[in-house]
Amino acid sequence: MVKSANGWLRLTPKRKTGCHPALGGDCDNIRRRLSTSYSNRAMMPHPLVDQLRFTRAEFIRATKGVSDDDARRRFLPLNCLAWNVGHLAWQEQRYFLYYGGEGRLLLPEIDREFTYGAPASEPSLKEMLAAWRTITAAADPWLDTFTSEMLASHVISQGKPIQRTHGNLLQRVIYHYWYHTGENMAMRQLLGHERLPVYVGDIDGKAPYRPEQQI
Segments making up each domain of the chain, as ranges: 46-206
Q: Is the pTM of this model over 0.95?
A: no
Give me the mean pLDDT over the 186-209 stretch.
93
Query: What is the average per-residue pLDDT within 120-135?
Result: 97
Q: Which residue has the higher pLDDT, 158 or 38?
A: 158
DSSP-based three-state secondary structure for 154: strand
The torsion angle over the Cα atoms of residues 133, 138, 143 and 145, rounded to 10 degrees, is 150
State the distance between the two ends of the chain, measured CA to CA, in whole angstroms. Answer: 47
Superfamily of domain 46-206: dinb family like domain (1.20.120.450)
Instruction: Count Cβ atoms within 10 A of the Cβ of residue 22 and give its class: 0-12 exposed, 13-18 middle, 19 or more buried.
Output: exposed
Phi then psi for residue 161, to 5 deg, are -70, 140
Look at residue 159 in the predicted model and tell me its pLDDT.
81
For the chain, give the mean pLDDT: 84
**HSE-CB of 101 using CA atoms within 13 angstroms:** 11
What lies within 8 Å, CB to CB, of 14 at 6+ separation is none
